[in-house]
Structures are given as C-alpha cells and as structure tokens.
Structure 1
Amino acid sequence: MPVLSVVVGSAVGLHTRPASIIAEKADELAEAGHDVFLAIPGDEPVEASSALMIMTLGAAKGDTVEVSGDDDAAVEAIAALVAQDLDA
C-alpha cells in the first residue's frame, strides 16, 4: 500500500472547505475502485472520501499527514490536494 507524507498547505488546516474538496476528489477515486485514507502519523487512518472524518484529524497548517491507498496515482492526487492552500 503506497503511503506519502505531506504537509498541510491550507491556512485553516483541513477544515470545512479543504476537507470538502479533498473528500469530493477521494469519492471520485473510490467510485473508480481506489480507496484513499488520511492519518496523523501514529493515529488510525480515516477515509479521505468523508469530509467529516477528515476534519476529525484536527490537522492544522504545517502538520504532517500520511496519505495511503491501494493506487499510487490516487494517493498522489489526494496528497497534492492536502499540500495546496485550498482556501484561496
């Protein structure tokens, strides 16, 4: 299972708007058969397709988040979103 560590880029962390954007993309990937998960290192992963579960991570700007899944391209796509400032 591929795992990427990425630093949260959004100014408000993984809060409502960034979590919704990430979850929407992860849901598209899940429909294509590729589940993606997010986790604070050392904690249990949550489904990236759920904005609510993403927000439970409590990840702030600059925090490291692990992105994992069953497909390299899917993991990279979600990791790229986590790293962006999605509040702009």
Structure 2
Amino acid sequence: MKREHQGCLTGIGMLAVCGVILFAAYQWDIPFLKYVCYLLPALIGSYIGSQYFSNEEQRVKNRFSRRTWSWLVAGFFLLAALLAWWLEGRLW
C-alpha cells in the first residue's frame, strides 16, 4: 500500500477515535475531553502531514524528534485543560 493511502487510513482512524471520545464527552459532560477533541484534528494533521505526505528528503529534513512530539502532546493537553477551565470553569 502506498504511503499516502496509509496516511489517509491513519487519519480516518484517528478521527474516528476522536468522534468516539467526543460522543463520550458530550454524554457525560466532560469539558476537558470536549476541548481535546476540538484541538485533536490539528495535531493529527501535523503528524500525518509530516509522516506520510512529504517526500523522503523533506521527511528526513523536517522530522520532529520524539522529545519534540512529547512536548507538543503535553502542550496540547495543557492548552485543552486551560481552555476547559477558562471557558467552562471546570475540567470534569
């Protein structure tokens, strides 16, 4: 299977998981999960774009290290928590 097709399937799978989490967040009224799901497509897009939709030279040149990805994910969760606290007044 070509890399582009794998990237599309990965993106569809991640968005399906995001949809399930969003359904649970609205079902149990959890603001933190709502904001995680609102922000998750941006993180998914940056990951899939850098891994699957660039040629080999760009992939090697612009590759984020594991440490950078871990900082991005931690910042992502922190931003979601701050938005939930600021806009909803609670995390759970």
TM-score category, normalised to shorter length:
0.3 to 0.5
Q: Which has the higher contact order (CA 8 A, sep 6+)?
A: 1
Which is helix-richer, 1 or 2?
2
Q: Please tell me whether Structure 1 or Structure 2 has the larger radius of gyration of its CA atoms.
A: 2
